[in-house]
Amino acid sequence: MPFWSDPGLEPKRQYKFLLEFPGNVAGLQSFLVKRADKPKFTVNAVQHDFLNHRFYYPGKLAWDPITLTVVDVAKKSANDGNASLALMEAIRNTGYVPPTKAPNLATAPNDPNAWTLSKDQSVTHGIGDLQIKTLDAKGITVDIWKLKNAFMTSLEFGALDYTVEDLVEITITLQYDWAELTAG
């Protein structure tokens, strides 16, 4: 039976969602998110040949990266609302050190961020566990996707162009270990 003939069924709408960044990424608010991919996975097919036949079995399940698009904003009075600065701070918190601030070799062993990007730092001080909430027509949460141990693998700060009036957008690619779907 189609959804339009059953008043109890309501189709989910693409524009009815909220994305909640953990408190680690101060300055990125839900209203800045323009687009978010939902989680997706791939199951590899394992091939087995026997005599003159070929059979396939399900292999490992791998969660594929997703992409988020957020609008870049800047507060006039402070940097706590600047989306670009918030994302750069999240990268620094995960262990990135620019070449101009190379660690002091004498103190570097005591500094957990001095050497390289770290998954532990990415999860606890970077993106971490992200939530994508689907809403119904009344704004009530229908379902929640939780991306576990998410971290940024790509960050594009958009483009500037005198010939258009578009907003500056930031594109974020996230990798995560797995996703959980729960009812709202």
Three-state secondary structure of 88-118: HHHHHHCCCCCHHHCCCCCCHHHCCCCCCCC
CA atoms within 13 A on the CB side of 120: 3
DSSP, collapsed to helix, strand or coil, labels residue 1 as coil
What is the structure's pLDDT at 36?
95
Task: Give the CB-side neighbour count of residue 84, counting CA atoms within 13 A.
Answer: 11
Cβ within 8 Å of residue 91, ≥6 positions away: 126, 152, 155
User: Domain range holding 116?
Assistant: 3-38+46-183
What is the structure's pLDDT at 32?
Answer: 83
d(CA 74, CA 67) in angstroms, rounded, equals 22
Kindly report the CATH number assigned to the domain that includes residue 68: 2.30.110
Query: Tokens in use for 100?
Result: 């101009």
pLDDT for 158: 94
Structure tokens at 56: 């396939």
Each residue's pLDDT tens digit in the chain (184 positions)?
A: 666 678 778 888 999 999 887 766 766 777 888 999 999 999 999 999 999 999 999 999 999 999 999 998 887 655 556 888 888 888 888 888 777 776 666 655 555 555 677 777 777 777 778 899 999 989 999 999 999 999 999 999 999 999 999 999 999 999 999 999 999 7
Chain-centroid distance of CA 28 in Å reads 12
pLDDT of residue 126: 73
- Of 181, 97, 92, 93, the C-alpha closest to 144 is 181
Tally of domains within the chain:
1
Burial classification of residue 86, based on how many CB atoms lie within 10 Å of its CB (0-12 exposed, 13-18 middle, 19 or more buried): buried
Look at residue 67 in the predicted model and tell me its pLDDT.
97
Return the bridge partners of 150, or none: 128
Per-residue pLDDT at 154: 94
158 and 168 Cβ atoms separated by less than 8 Å: yes
